[in-house]
Structure 1
Amino acid sequence: MLQVTEAAADHLEKLITTAMAEQELDEHKPMVIRFVSDAAGLSLMLDIERAEDITFDHRGKTILVFDRGVSELLADAVLDVKTSEEGTRLVLQ
């Protein structure tokens, strides 16, 4: 099962807050970050939670979701952050 570090969870929460403000989305409609799989590999997108999703909560709210197919790809992974001169980014290890 995917492990999410505290630093990665904090970063995901900030990404959601920033994206919602930039897109002027309704703060009462909870948005999450979704892992999706396509021909290019794994990517992240802003989305809503679906009933069949596997979820990760942080500070009492869901911040990260993915479906069962993606869960197999993430089985032994750790989601963390890396900070460099270019900024902070999420990394899978």
Structure 2
Amino acid sequence: FHPCRYPNFYFSAFIAGTKQVVLLGLFNGQGLDLTAPNCHLLMRISPGETYIKCVMKDGRMQGALLIGETELEETFENLILNQLDLTSFGEHLLDPNIDLSDYFD
């Protein structure tokens, strides 16, 4: 994995001045077979506030889509770049009661 292959690796925008949108890595599973047993999506939705989607392959984060003030941008960027095995976290990776920056920043 090399970020130079992905010129738009980190993209941040504001939509209608109300919600921040951050696209990281393979945020839409580009080039991955999302039907494969080693690929899956993790999602957390707080209606009207935040939307978080993580693209996972072999227990490692490949990309993420963050909408709203999630405060996860830097942490997720580091997880994608470092390709850490996150298998032990499972669904808890997006648990709002766990401060991921305590573990990974």
Shorter-chain TM-score bucket reads: under 0.3
What TM-score, normalized by structure 2, do the two folds share? Answer: 0.25
Q: How does the TM-score come out when normalised to structure 1?
A: 0.27
Structure ranking higher in strand proportion: 1
Q: Which has the higher contact order (CA 8 A, sep 6+)?
A: 1
